[in-house]
Amino acid sequence: MLQAILLDRDGVINRERADYVKCWDEMEILPGALAALRRLARLPIPICVVTNQSAIGRKIISAQTVDALHRRLAALAAAQGGRIDAFFVCPHHPDAGCDCRKPKPGLLLQAAQRFSLDLSRCILVGDSFTDYAAAAAVHCPAILVQTGRQGSDLRRQLQGSPAIPLVSDLNAAAEKIRLRYDRTQQTV
């Protein structure tokens, strides 16, 4: 039975920026993302965002500002009938050597601890190989979307790797997740 949905933020829910999302005006929600969150919210399982936010460690933005952005994102999702139950953030600089920065699985482990999850029974939606690597490290199935900065390069890079599902966007991932949830319900 599917236990939770773990979503990367930048490149999955909102457009990823090379200069980081530093304020709400820079939070450009991707087409179809709110509809996907609404679709996923129908499933009675947690929806968590797991996101690297090195802009905090780089002193570009404060943790408080990121928290405020996340509160506003959750409120926007809720206003559209969607839901985000928790945010798990790696605030560290890439050189910090922390255990929570993807491709390490620390954020997924934090979500697992908070919600008592078996990560092999969850699914992560990301837009990069670092997302996939974090999921693979804890045997969490993953779906990659092409809406991040790696975009169409992912398809080329994944040639010959049918084990990594690649879809156009979060809406397409939500459909795969819904189908998987329905299948797992039938086997219980």
Residue tagged active-site, from 10, 127, 131, 169:
10
Cβ(141)–Cβ(135) under 8 Å? Answer: yes
Residue tagged active-site, from 8, 127, 131, 169:
8
Question: How far apart are the C-alpha atoms of 18 and 148, rounded to whole Å?
Answer: 11
Cβ(75)–Cβ(32) under 8 Å? Answer: no
Is position 10 annotated as part of the catalytic site? Answer: yes
Give alpha helix (H) positions in the chain. Answer: 33-41, 54-57, 63-79, 106-115, 129-137, 153-157, 170-186
* β partners of residue 122: 4
Cβ-based burial of 35 (10 A; exposed 0-12, middle 13-18, buried ≥19): middle
Cβ(79)–Cβ(112) under 8 Å? Answer: no
Is position 67 annotated as part of the catalytic site? Answer: no
Question: How far apart are the C-alpha atoms of 34 and 39, rounded to whole Å?
Answer: 9
Q: Which active-site residues does the annotation give?
A: 8, 10
